[in-house]
Structures are given as C-alpha cells and as structure tokens.
Amino acid sequence: MNDNNENNEITYELYEPYDQYDQYEAYKKHYNSSILTNRIVFFALGLFVGAMLTLTITIASTQIRNYLVWGSSLPPENKILEIYNVLDTHSIVPVDRNVLLTNMYRGLLEGVDDPYSYYFNSESLSVFMERTDGSYVGVGMAVILDTEINRVVITTVFTGAPAETAGLLPGDIIIAVDDTDTTTYSTDEVASLVRGVPDTDVTLRILRGDTILTFTITRRQVHIPTVSHRIIDDNIGYLRIESFDGVTVAQFSDAFDDLRSQNIAGLIIDVRNNPGGLLDTVISIGDILLPIGSIMYSEDSQGERTAYLSETDNILDIPLVMLVNGGSASASEVLTGAVRDHGVGVVVGEQTFGKGVVQRLFPLSDGSAIRATVARFYTPNGTSIHEDGITPDFIVEVDRETAMAAARLTLEEDIQLQKALQVVQGNISTFSIGG
C-alpha cells in the first residue's frame, strides 16, 4: 500500500509539472496569437488611416493647386466634360471632338489677349514650319493682319506663282477660303487653309475695294523669293527683303555681294510690308551690315536680358537708307533700329508697325505646339519699339492702297522710293563712316 501510495505520489509529482507546462504553452500560444491578431488589426487600421490621410492630403493639395492656378478648387476639365456630355447627349448638331478640342486650345491662347500667342495643331504647325523653310505647297503670296480693319490682307504676290497668274493683287482682303469664312482668322490660320497638296484647287473669296471676287487656284510647290535686287539711277543699289525666313540670309548675302561687285555708290534696303520672321535670320543679316556691337537685346518676364551681337567688324563704306512703312514689323524694325542706332544709315518712309516683342515656339507632347510671347526687344540704344514703331528721319506718307502695292510700283509711281533715292544721293558726297 505504502509502495503504491509512494508511486502514486511520485506519479503525481512527475506529471503535475508537465501538465502545468502544457497549460503554460497553450496560454502562451493563445497570448501570442492574440498579440499577433491585434498587431495585424492595428497594422491594417494604420494602413487604412494612412491611406485616408494621404487621400485627404492629395485632394486638399489638388484643390489648393487648382485654386492657385485657376482661382477655383474645381479643375476646368470637370466643366469641359460636363459641357461635352451635354452636347453629346442633347445637341442636334453633330459634334466633332477633334474640332471642339482644337478650338478650345485656340480659345485658351486667345484668352491671353495677345495677337502673337497662338495654338498650332500638327497640321498648321507643319504649314508654319514650311513657310519659314522658304518652300511650301500653296499659291505664292505673303499676307499680313491689317490691324486697322482686323483682316488678313495680301501684301505680296510672288512673281510667276499661281496667285499672280490668277490675278490676285497686293491689298486684296481675304474673306473666305473654300467654304470657310476667314474674317476673324489669323494670318497663320488663313495660310494653313490656303496651303495643301500639289495639283489640288483652293478657292479664295477676295474683297477688292467694294467688289467681292472669287478665284479658284491650283496649288503647286512655291519657292519663296524673299530677296530681290537691282541697280537704279545708274549707281544706286536697291535690295528688297520680303520676309526674314530660313532662306533669306543666303539670298540677301548673294544679292548684297552682287550689288557691291557693281561698285554701287549707295544702297537702299526696302522692308516695306515686311512682317518680320526669324530672329536668327535678322541677326545674321545685321552681322553683314553692322560693325561689332549690339544688334538688339531682349528682356524676359523675369527682367533677364539677352544680347544679340554683330561679331564681324563690317564697315559699310557707302550711304545706306532703310525704306519702311506701316507694314514693316518685328524683324524689319530690329534691322532698321540697329542701322540707325549705329549711325550706319537713315530711315525714309512712314511710321513702322510697332511689334517689339519676341515669340518662342513650344512643342507639345502630341505633335502640336504653342507660340508664346516671351520677351520685349530693344534697339542698341535701349529704345522700345513695341506699339510705337520707328519714326523715319524723312517721312513720306501715301494712302493705304499705294502702301500695299509698294512691291509692284515703278520708280515713277513710288514717291517713297524717290525720296530714298534723293537722300542716298545727297549723302554720297558728304558720307563719312559711322556718321
């Protein structure tokens, strides 16, 4: 009995610790499991709170950004979608999304209230780049926006081009291209409509005086003759620049060298009705005519200045007259202002247009682009041309029709050219370099 009791006690003593150990292990597992569960819950809760906080911050920052940019916490794309959904659902007039978007982008640039800021879709951008390259498919004419009447007007009809053959004239107002009314269009918009595929027809509706005329013209490849030259009155060189395009520097250089080889005693550079063009082009031409020094400088929105310099010490040893009118703009005014400020020549004609700002082309990711005004430019002496233009040293005024026809007037008909000739001849005997 005693032995058995002892054994039982031993058994009890032996097994009791193991039973407590198992309970402890079970409790520990349960405790650890609870901790793990709580941690998972708290972790998930943390993730949720963090995500909500991030979302709240994102929404708030977006609203703040929208407010800072647009003056409203609601982004404009929401309103655009609302408008489109209304039109798409209710309009009985067919809605072309591409046309809507193109006009919307153009409208955004029009909101800048700057006639020189403009949106180009990929097609109009291609047309614009063709023009500055000096060759394109079209009818062969140059146009300008006449701000007095707010219409696109033909300034030059290129010799031998389809436009000349058809009978278009400088001064003609373009009021429609094919079936598109262009009375509110910019020069770039009109140009993009006129240009197209070779051997296709384009119909122009023209206002000439009080008469509306219609011309159907076949497009073909046109090489822009931006420079022409000749000798007048035996020994005076006459050099006309139609525009400052990519091909103009070479054409100007060839014409200038040809005139100088004929021992001219004076030079007239005619930039009447020249609307401007590429900044690099006018700087290169200035480099041919001017001594070392400033051609112009620009100042951007931050007040930072960029100088454009003549780097070759060319001393023009003959009298020079710049011939200008109200259609002489931008690059034409840059060259005219630099010539006068350097004392290289004098100015004859009428007050120039007054476009003293610089545009830059910004390509966009989809192949389109915008052109924005990024700086004002100043003549070497610090004169701002913008909205004021250049006042000639010798003013010779003509009526609008005569001004528009400047490129095709004979010497006998052109009183401004006559005055320029008189001035340059009068300066031959008294001419001194730099004065």
What is d(CA 195, CA 57) in angstroms, rounded to the nearest whole number? 51
What is d(CA 207, CA 415) in angstroms, rounded to the nearest whole number? 26
3-state secondary structure of 429: coil
Give the CA dihedral 96, 99, 100, 105, nearest 10 degrees: 160
3-state secondary structure of 327: coil
**CA dist 27 to 16, 17, 34, 234, Å?**
17, 15, 10, 119
Question: What's the residue count for the chain?
Answer: 435
Of the residues 192, 294, 332, 355, only one is catalytic, namely 355
Which has the closest alpha carbon to 338: 386, 270, 274, 285?
A: 285
The HSE-up count of residue 130 (CA atoms within 13 Å, CB side) is 21
Active site residue 419: no
3-state secondary structure of 4: helix
| Torsions phi, psi for 296 (to 5 deg) | -170, 170
Instruction: Report whether 225 contacts 158 (CB < 8 A).
Output: yes
What is d(CA 21, CA 70) in angstroms, rounded to the nearest whole number? 71
Which has the closest alpha carbon to 238: 315, 333, 318?
A: 318
Sequence-distant (≥ 6) Cβ neighbours of residue 291 within 8 angstroms? 310, 313, 314, 315, 342, 344, 434
Residue type, 163: A
Question: What secondary structure does DSSP assign to 145-186, as a single string?
Answer: EETTTTEEEEEEE-TTSHHHHHT--TTPEEEEETTEE-TT--
Alpha helix ranges (H) inside 214-345? 248-261, 279-289, 331-341
Active site residue 328: no
**CA dist 337 to 237, 287, 379, Å?**
20, 14, 6
Region of residue 409 (left: phi > 0; alpha: psi -120 to 50; beta: else): beta
Of the residues 284, 310, 328, 330, only one is catalytic, namely 330
Q: Kindly list the catalytic residues.
A: 330, 355
